[in-house]
Structure 1
Amino acid sequence: MTVIVLSACPVGLRGDLTRWFLEIAPGVFVGHVSARVRERVWIRVKAFAKSGRAIMVYPAANEQHLAFEVHQPDWAPVDCDGLKLIMRPKGTEDATFAGPPKKNWSKASRFHKARKFSG
């Protein structure tokens, strides 16, 4: 199964991809195509995407059992000991990756906890 995700691409490209794939959500296309069709479709995607972004994921005979292609990526694909990974650029830390939240207890909460353990 091949999956193509488009972001900020012309509407005409989305219409063109519906010839070979099903659009299951806005900009998300899935389908079973041969390797030759997949390569030709990716050439069309790169030609028509212009400044938009596109990602294509497809099955491959490797350790990950998949491969992917990217066009105009924000995050860069890198090879790490034979595994293809995505490297996030510096300065894009999310709250989900910032570690556990800091605990700023209120005075009432601290007083209640102190009373609870003081006996």
Structure 2
Amino acid sequence: MITLVVTACPAGLRGDLTKWLLEISPGVFVGNVSARVRDSLWERTVGLCKDGRALMIFNAPNEQGYDYRVHLHSWEPVDMDGLTLMKRPNAREDYQRARTGWSKARVYRRAIRR
């Protein structure tokens, strides 16, 4: 059993995935396919997705009972003592990285005050 979630991907990819999987909501596909077909669908999804995001969850013979793959996602899988967990990005770090300096308006107002 697999679940494949695509975001901001071309409509052609969604149409292609419906050949093998059932689309239960826009961009959410569910199905029961072999590992060979699953890997082929993932390669095709990554190839056609371009700037969009993709996340696939599937059954696996491990302690969790499932595994997942991500493509261009802000959350990234991290292995913690044999368990694969999703690491969420820290909102504060993203905000601090986004601010590279003062805005042009702030610099202009400050120059006028001096």
Could you state the TM-score of these two structures normalised by the residue count of structure 2? 0.79
**Equivalent residue, structure 1, for 2:52:** 52
2:70, 2:16 → 1: CA distance? 18
Which residue in 1 is equivalent to 2:24?
Answer: 24
Deviating 4+ runs (over 3 angstroms): none
Match of 2:82 in 1: 82
Partner secondary structure for residue 61 of structure 1: coil
Distance 2:63 2:51 in 1: 32
Residue correspondences, number: 92
Taking the TM superposition and a 5 Å limit, the aligned residue runs for 1:1-119 are: 1-91=1-91
Equivalent position amino acid for 1:74 in 2: S
Deviation at 1:91, TM superposition (A): 1.2
SS of aligned partner of 1:63: coil
SS at match of 1:9: coil
User: Structure 1 CA distance, aligned partners of 2:29 and 2:15?
Assistant: 11
Counterpart residue identity of residue 10, structure 2: P
Note the residue ranges of structure 2 that are not aligned, 5 or more in a row: 93-114
Following superposition, the deviation at residue 90 of structure 1 comes to 1.4
Describe the SS at the equivalent of 1:19.
coil
Deviations, residues 81-106 of structure 1 (Å, cap 9, x unaligned): 010000011116xxxxxxxxxxxxxx
For residues 72 and 25 of structure 2, the distance between their equivalents in structure 1, rounded to whole angstroms, comes to 21
Cα distance in 2 for partners of 1:79, 1:51 equals 26
Greater radius of gyration (CA) = 1
User: How many Å apart are 1:59 and its aligned residue?
Assistant: 0.3
Structure 1 unaligned regions, length at least 5: 93-119
Letter in 2 for 1:38: R
Q: Could you tell me how far apart the structure 2 residues matched to 1:9 and 1:72 are? A: 12
State the one-letter code of the partner of 2:13.
Answer: L
